[in-house]
């Protein structure tokens, strides 16, 4: 029986809280904290069991430290903003608590995310005797574990990986993002990047695209982007020659995005408005629909998976390993759309892996460095069944 502290009460935080609450045999006590405690209380009101709530500013390590010492958790699940990864990790180091997140650190003042600053904490976490598990959402997270599972069971060498993220759902809004608008738009508008033959190659944003027939959904246009799991997977897959990340977008979404870019509303450079500095993208975030509000009317499905080519017993082999998730079913179960669901469920499973000792070590690790089998088993049990399709 373990105690879990969850920081972040957005769409993903709600799913994580629901899912750990469904495991009373693992998590005896739950505390959900956010800068806005009313959001925590709203989520708590959806549950069948009682949990604690708290207010915390995750930008302030001392506030997080005080909360940790008050609640005394066995693991901290960070589903706050990626800007706050380092401050929360600092608090975990100070208090000796295991740490888990779903997205790597992002620089607040430039559209760039990387594992480097988190990986640098490896020795500190190792010396403290605690575990930091990075990127335990879906992508990154499950996609990394799909690759590790394929490497263990299907290939002697993996040569190419194409991670493909398709959201074929409809929320009825003219323009909205499926998670935090500021993070989402920064991610999409940066330059594309992929790894091939030992080198990183860059492209202009959303210029390379192709059609793929997604199982359970049908043909969709997908665009090459950079995503953080590429950075860790190039280190851990044997024989890798190329790895890319793709995401689908509808023409209406792309048209609105281009207009917003053209008028400067996706910029992160502050402008002065009536004597006050305002970051245009943060203003845009304030006027766009709250992602957590989309779920009630969301219809359709997601398909996220890995197309993997390689060699087994001297013969070429290609598989597509994937999950299909239904927006309406996600809402019915945990009051969230499928994007939040597919990120929150793996975080809850990862925390279970940690507190039960199924995954244990000291230091900073990515999920593909652990045995994928028990995690894959839990995925199907906890609402994210997966399929391996021979191509």
- Phi, psi for 47 (deg, rounded to 5): -90, 155
Q: What percent of the chain has pLDDT above 90?
A: 78
Share of the chain residues as helix, strand and coil, in percent rounded to the nearest 5: 40, 30, 30
**Per-residue b/e over 274-291, b at no fewer than 16 CB within 10 Å?**
eeeeebbbeebbeebeeb
Alpha-carbon gap, residue 21 to 139, rounded angstroms? 23
CB 250 within 8 Å of CB 170: no
Q: What is the pLDDT of residues 153-163, one digit of tens each?
A: 999 999 999 99
pLDDT at position 176: 82
CATH of the structural domain 142-334+386-390, one choice from 3.40.190.10, 3.30.360.10, 1.10.3720.10, 3.40.30.10: 3.30.360.10
pLDDT one-digit tens code per residue, 233-282: 999 999 999 999 999 998 888 888 888 888 888 888 889 988 999 988 88
Check pLDDT > 70 for residue 313: yes
- The region, left, alpha or beta by phi > 0 then psi within -120 to 50, assigned to residue 363 is left
Q: From edge to edge, which strands make up the β-sheet containing 363-366?
A: 52-55, 27-34, 2-7, 75-78, 98-101, 131-134, 363-366
For the chain, how many residues are written? 391
The CA distance from 130 to 96, in Å, is 6
User: Which residues have C-beta within 8 Å of that of residue 239, sequence separation ≥ 6?
Assistant: 156, 157, 158, 159, 310, 311
- Residue 47 clears pLDDT 70, i.e. is over it: yes
Find out whether the peptide bond into 140 is cis, omega within 30 degrees of 0: yes
The more confidently predicted of residues 95 and 259 is 95
Give residue for tokens 């401050």: 87
Which one, of 215, 180, 171, 185, lies nearest residue 337 by Cα? 171
Alpha helices for the chain (secondary structure H): 11-21, 37-44, 61-71, 85-95, 116-119, 122-128, 142-153, 181-189, 229-236, 251-262, 280-287, 327-334, 338-355, 372-381
For 204-243, what is each residue's pLDDT tens digit?
Answer: 999 999 999 999 999 999 999 999 999 999 999 999 999 9
Lowest mean pLDDT among 45-54, 123-132, 268-277, 328-337: 268-277
pTM value?
0.94
**pLDDT score, position 285:** 86
**pLDDT > 70 in the chain, percent:** 99
For residue 41, the tally of other CB atoms under 10 A from its CB is 14
Q: Where are the alpha helices (DSSP H) in 80-216?
A: 85-95, 116-119, 122-128, 142-153, 181-189
For residue 33, pLDDT beyond 90 = yes
**Per-residue pLDDT, 177:** 83
Q: How many CA atoms lie within 13 A of 152 on its CB side?
A: 14
Answer whether residue 110 shows pLDDT above 90: no
Q: Which of 78-87, 94-103, 232-241, 274-283 has the lowest mean pLDDT?
A: 274-283
- Domain residue ranges in the chain: 2-138+341-381, 142-334+386-390
Q: Residue 21: its pLDDT value, please?
A: 98
Q: What is the pLDDT of residues 352-371, one digit of tens each?
A: 999 999 999 999 999 999 99
Identify the pLDDT of residue 174.
Answer: 81
Thinking of the domain 2-138+341-381, which architecture would CATH place it in?
A: 3-Layer(aba) Sandwich (3.40)
More confident residue, 196 or 177: 196
Phi, psi torsion values for 117, nearest 5 degrees = -70, -25
- In which band, very low, low, confident or very high, does the pLDDT at 16 lie, cut at 50, 70 and 90? very high
Q: How confident is the model at residue 111 (pLDDT cuts 50, 70, 90)?
A: low
**Other beta carbons less than 10 A from residue 250's beta carbon:** 13
Average pLDDT of the residues in 302-307: 98
């Amino acid at each position: 029986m373990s105690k879990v502290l969850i920081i972040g009460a957005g769409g993903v935080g709600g799913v994580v809280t629901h899912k750990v609450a469904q495991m009373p045999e693992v998590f005896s006590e739950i505390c959900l904290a956010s800068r806005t405690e009313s959001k925590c209380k709203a989520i708590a009101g959806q549950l069948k069991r009682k949990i604690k709530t708290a207010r915390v500013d995750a930008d302030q390590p001392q506030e997080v430290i005080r909360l940790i010492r008050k609640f005394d958790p066995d693991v901290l699940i960070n589903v706050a903003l990626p800007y706050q990864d380092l401050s929360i990790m600092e608090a975990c180091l100070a208090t000796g608590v295991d740490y888990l997140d779903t997205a790597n650190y992002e620089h607040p003042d430039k559209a760039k995310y990387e594992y480097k600053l988190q990986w640098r904490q490896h020795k500190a976490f190792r010396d403290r005797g605690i575990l930091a598990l990075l990127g335990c959402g879906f992508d990154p997270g499950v996609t990394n574990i799909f690759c590790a599972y394929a490497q263990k069971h299907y290939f002697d060498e993996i040569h190419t990986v194409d991670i493909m993220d398709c959201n074929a759902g409809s929320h009825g809004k003219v323009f909205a993002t499926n998670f935090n608008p500021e993070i989402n738009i920064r991610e999409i508008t940066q330059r594309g990047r992929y790894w091939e033959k030992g080198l990183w190659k860059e492209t202009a944003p959303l210029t390379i695209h192709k059609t793929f027939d997604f199982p359970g959904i049908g043909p969709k246009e997908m665009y090459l982007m950079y995503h953080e799991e590429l950075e860790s997977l190039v280190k851990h897959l044997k024989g890798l020659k190329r790895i890319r990340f793709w995401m689908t977008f509808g023409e209406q979404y792309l048209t609105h995005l281009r207009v917003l870019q053209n008028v400067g509303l996706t910029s992160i450079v502050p402008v002065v408005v009536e004597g006050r500095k305002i970051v245009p993208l943060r203003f845009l975030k304030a006027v766009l629909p709250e992602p957590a509000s989309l779920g009630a009317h969301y219809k359709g499905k997601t398909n996220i998976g890995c197309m993997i080519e390689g060699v087994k017993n001297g013969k070429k082999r290609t598989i597509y390993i994937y999950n299909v998730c239904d927006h309406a079913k996600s809402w019915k179960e945990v009051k969230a759309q499928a994007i939040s669901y597919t990120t929150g469920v793996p975080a809850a499973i990862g925390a279970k892996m940690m507190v039960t000792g199924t995954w244990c070590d000291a230091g900073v690790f990515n999920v593909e460095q652990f045995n994928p089998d028990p995690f894959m088993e839990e995925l199907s049990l906890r609402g994210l069944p997966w399929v391996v399709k021979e191509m």
